[in-house]
Amino acid sequence: MNEIKLVIFDFDQTLVDSPKGFDAAFIEIKPEIEILLQNRGVKINIEDYSDALRQRMRELDVQKIYNRDLWWNRLLTEVLKIGTIQFTPEECSHLTSIYWNTTIENTELYPDTLEILDFLKSKNYKLALLTDTDGIPGLKKVRLDKSPILSYIDGIMIAGDDVPQVKPDPTPFLQLASQLGTTPSEVVMVGDKPFTDIKGGKAAGFHTILILRENWQVDPIPDFQIRALVELKNLL
Question: What tens digit of pLDDT does each residue of 218-236 get?
Answer: 899 999 999 999 999 999 9
- The partner residues of 127 in beta bridges, in order of sequence, read 7
pLDDT band at 83 (very low <50, low <70, confident <90, very high): confident
Q: Is residue 124 part of a domain?
A: yes
What is the C-alpha to C-alpha distance for residues 182 and 171, in angstroms, rounded to an integer? Answer: 15
What pLDDT does 50 receive? 93
pLDDT band at 209 (very low <50, low <70, confident <90, very high): very high
pLDDT band at 1 (very low <50, low <70, confident <90, very high): confident
pLDDT tens-place string over residues 168-177: 999 999 999 9
What is the C-alpha to C-alpha distance for residues 146 and 144, in angstroms, rounded to an integer? Answer: 5
What pLDDT does 215 receive? 87
DSSP letter assigned to residue 198: I
Does 69 lie in the same domain as 157? no
Closest C-alpha among 232, 9, 222 to residue 109? 9
Does 116 lie in the same domain as 12? yes
Q: Which of 106, 130, 160 is the last residue of a domain?
A: 106
Query: What are the phi and psi torsion angles at 96 (to 5°)?
Result: -65, -40
What is the C-alpha to C-alpha distance for residues 198 and 219, in angstroms, rounded to an integer? Answer: 8
What pLDDT does 123 receive? 96
Q: Is residue 1 part of a domain?
A: no
How many CB atoms neighbour CB 229 within 10 A? 24
Q: Is residue 43 part of a domain?
A: yes
Which distant-in-sequence residues (6+ apart) come within 8 Å of 119 by Cβ?
232, 233
Mean pLDDT over all residues of the chain? 95
Does 129 lie in the same domain as 225? yes
Q: Are 225 and 218 in contact (CB under 8 A)?
A: yes
Query: Residue 200: is its pLDDT beyond 90?
Result: yes
What pLDDT does 84 receive? 86
Does 219 lie in the same domain as 154? yes
What pLDDT does 216 receive? 87
pLDDT tens-place string over residues 84-118: 899 999 999 999 999 999 999 999 999 999 999 99
Does 229 lie in the same domain as 121? yes
Tally of domains in the chain: 2
Handedness of CA 228, 103, 140, 49 (dihedral sign): positive
Does 98 lie in the same domain as 146? no
Does 115 lie in the same domain as 91? no
Q: What angle do helix axes 18-38 and 50-62 make, rounded to 10 degrees?
A: 120
Q: What is the mean pLDDT of residues 120-125?
A: 97
Q: Which of 63, 88, 106 is the last residue of a domain?
A: 106
pLDDT tens-place string over residues 42-72: 999 999 999 999 999 999 999 999 999 999 9
pLDDT band at 198 (very low <50, low <70, confident <90, very high): very high
Q: Which of 45, 76, 106 is the last residue of a domain?
A: 106
Closest C-alpha among 139, 100, 103, 110 to residue 10? 110
What pLDDT does 154 receive? 98
What pLDDT does 73 receive? 95
Q: Is residue 59 part of a domain?
A: yes
Domain assignment of residue 85, given as a range: 19-106
What pLDDT does 217 receive? 86
Does 137 lie in the same domain as 87? no
Long-range contact set of residues 31-36: C-beta below 8 Å, sequence gap at least 24: 32/94, 32/95, 32/98, 33/72, 33/75, 33/95, 36/87, 36/91, 36/95
What pLDDT does 106 receive? 96
Q: Are 235 and 224 in contact (CB under 8 A)?
A: yes
- The partner residues of 8 in beta bridges, in order of sequence, read 128, 189
Q: Is residue 146 part of a domain?
A: yes
What pLDDT does 226 receive? 97
Which distant-in-sequence residues (6+ apart) come within 8 Å of 153 by Cβ?
127, 128, 129
| Burial zone of 167 (CB within 10 Å; 0-12 exposed, 13-18 middle, 19+ buried) | buried
What pLDDT does 92 receive? 97
Q: Is residue 54 part of a domain?
A: yes
